[in-house]
Structure 1
Amino acid sequence: MRDTDTLSAEDLAIAGGFERFYEVLRRLTPRSELSLTAASTLRRLERSGPHRLCELHAPEGVSQPAMTQLITRLEKEGLAKRGSDPDDGRAVVVTITDDGRAAVARRREGRTRALSALLEQLPAEDHAAILAALPALERLSDLMAEQPPL
């Protein structure tokens, strides 16, 4: 890291903390009926509301046929449902169901329990630093979500 207050993309990319944190967080997430892509898609539907099927594949980094298969599976499991777009009856709109919301909540609760146990082992200063970083990380995540996949 440089001696200045400016964080470069290179600094962030080589910072082992980010990459290691992501890996650990993935391991903390309980194994469930949901793949990472399924969970991410359901969270997107929960957070942002219904989406056209054709809008879901790019943000998740999968092909449109793969997303169609995923939505078919989620629909069979009762976690999502398809409907017609009120503005264009030819387009398919996907929404999350109550069971889908419950599956996302179970996954989140399991991860929260595991993360809480780890956070209890940190000193108060680290808690404060993590809390202070959350708004900036949320804004960074919003910007990342708007970018096309690499």
Structure 2
Amino acid sequence: MTTSVTNQDALQLVVAVHRLIRSLRQSASVRRLQPTQLLVLAELASQGPMRIGEIAVRALCSQPTATTVVTGLESSGLVRRESDPADGRATIVELTGLGRDTIVSLAHGEAEMLSERLSRLSPEDRDTLKSVTPLLRRLADPAPAQPAARSASVQAAPVRATR
């Protein structure tokens, strides 16, 4: 049996996910960040130092927007720019200790709030949500590619850009 998903179903899921994330972030008692700032910090924390162009691709924004976001994060002491060892004309953006502490604090704070909310659900509902987590991770990837092929192309991108 095939179950189709309508645009309205998809819209309802988008609205629910946005409301959940927003409610967790608004009640957090940690440093306030704009969504794109948070995304850039999270990408730097998980992927390591990268160029502005790669940040723009990963944060799904324009390069000028990525530059503005990095400048704001840099002025807050959350990231720093270093010369790219492969190309002295380019810079690499990396997390500072404060940036790493901030993203960890945000993640833990939001996770604690979500855990408390999850505890109010029935065991069956909690099990359902746990089973959906891998699906949400897959849906969050904007470019569904083979994992090995995608990581190889991401790793190769800076090499091609320096030639």
TM range (shorter): 0.7 to 0.9
CA 1:118–1:66: 2 relative to 1, 3 Å? same
Contact residue 53 and residue 94 of structure 1 kept, 8 A: yes
Q: Which residue is equivalent to 2:153?
A: none
1:47 match? 46
Q: Which amino acid aligns with 2:121?
A: L
The verdict on how the C-alpha distance between 1:71 and 1:18 changes in structure 2, with shifts beyond 3 A counting, is closer
Shift in Å, 1:123: 0.5
Matches within 5 A, 1:112-131: 112-131=111-130
Q: Which residue of 2 aligns with 1:63?
A: 62
Unaligned 5+ segments in structure 1 are none
Query: Does 2:71 align with 1:75?
Result: no
Which 10-residue stretch deviates more, 56-65 or 71-80? 56-65
Q: Tell me how far 1:112 sits from its aligned partner.
A: 1.4
| Preserved contact between residue 43 and residue 58 of structure 2 (Cα < 8 Å) | no
Identity %: 32
Aligned to 1:13: 10
Query: What amino acid sits opposite 1:45 in the alignment?
Result: L
Structure 2 unaligned spans of 5+: 146-163
2 CA distance for matches of 1:146 and 1:37? 22
Deviations 1:29-74 (A, max 9, x none): 1263311111110000000111111221243243322221221221
Contact 1:82-1:93 at 8 Å conserved across structures: yes
The TM-score normalised by the length of structure 1 is 0.81
Q: State the structure with bigger RCO (CA 8 A, min sep 6), 1 or 2.
A: 1
TM-score by length of 2: 0.75
**C-alpha root-mean-square deviation of aligned residues, in Å?**
2.3
The letter for the 1-side match of 2:75 is K
CA–CA distance in structure 2, aligned partners of residues 141 and 40 of structure 1: 13
Number of aligned residues: 142
- Deviation, 1:11, is 6.8
1:84 touches 1:90 (CA, 8 Å); kept in 2? yes
Shift of residue 7, structure 1, vs aligned partner: 4.9
| CA shift in 2, pair 1:81/1:20, >3 Å | same
Give the structure 1 partner of residue 139 of structure 2: 140
Q: Give the 3-state SS of the residue equivalent to 1:51 in structure 2.
A: coil
